[in-house]
Chains A and B, each alone.
Chain A
Amino acid sequence: QVQLKESGPGLVQPSETLSLTCTVSGFSLTSYSVSWVRQPSGKGPEWMGRMWYDGDTAYNSALKSRLSISRDTSKNQVFLKMNSLQTDDTGTYYCTRNWSPWFDYWGQGVMVTVSS
């Protein structure tokens, strides 16, 4: 069945770089796109960016200068790197499968706290 699982550090120092990995199973990264979505505690989700099935990327303009999304299709993994983290980057980070433009499967999420 379709599964996505995020992994990465739970605590990041201010101004440092966040690196997260999304490992997928049950579908191919060359057939479906994968997005990263984050959610501050008690707030609505925010779309961060997308790795298209063809290897292209798209980013939220608000984050574009700090964000990079890449993949390794042989390992069924999608990566997120975001630099210059601040306290308002604290939240739960999800990877989601894109079925057309819709987010049809979500990972369990990884809580990231930005604090010294």
Chain B
Amino acid sequence: DIQMTQSPASLSASLEEIVTITCQASQDIGNWLAWYQQKPGKSPQLLIYGATSLADGVPSRFSGSRSGTQYSLKISRLQVEDIGIYYCQQASSAPFTFGSGTKLEIK
């Protein structure tokens, strides 16, 4: 199975700050990478697909990038509504595995 190693496990940042979360794949997955946001008590929601494409309705302050087998999610100006847990997920080969999550809080 492909392992997705996500960091950091938790993150506290100030409003309007730039936030970056990373995910390392254990092997080449190309651009088959998605990011999800899970707000407290809610289901995960698709944010980014294909490593860099923004899902419908997602604010433009979110962006995704790739460097080899390392993937990053960037929030350019942190807002209160961005608190939650963020997960990466590889869609290259079954079983489609998720990272362990990054809990984002407001400082």
Interface residues of A, Cβ cutoff 8 Å to B: 35, 43-47, 58, 60-62, 94, 100-104, 106-109
Contacts and interface: CB of A to CB of B under 8 A. Distances in A.
B32 A106 contact: no
B43 A101 contact: no
B43 A104 contact: no
A107 B42 CA distance: 10
Interface in B52-107: 55, 87, 89, 91, 94-101
A59 to B, nearest CB: 8
B96 A106 contact: no
Nearest to B95: A60
Contact of B36 (A43, A61, A103, A109): A103
Contact of B96 (A47, A62, A107, A109): A47
Q: Please report whether the interface of chain B is mostly helix, strand, loop or mixed according to DSSP.
A: loop
Interface of B: 1, 32, 34, 36, 43-46, 49, 55, 87, 89, 91, 94-101
Contact of A104 (B1, B55, B96): B55
Contacts of B45: 106
Contact of B43 (A43, A44, A47, A109): A109
A60 B95 CA distance: 5
Contact of A102 (B1, B43, B91): B91
Given A44-B100, A45-B87, A101-B32, A106 B44 contact: yes
B22 to A, nearest CB: 15
B43 A106 contact: yes
A62 B95 contact: yes
Nearest to A43: B100
Nearest to A61: B95
Given A46-B95, A103-B44, 15 more contacts: A43-B101, A44-B87, A44-B100, A45-B89, A47-B97, A47-B98, A60-B95, A62-B95, A94-B43, A100-B49, A102-B49, A102-B91, A104-B55, A107-B43, A109-B43
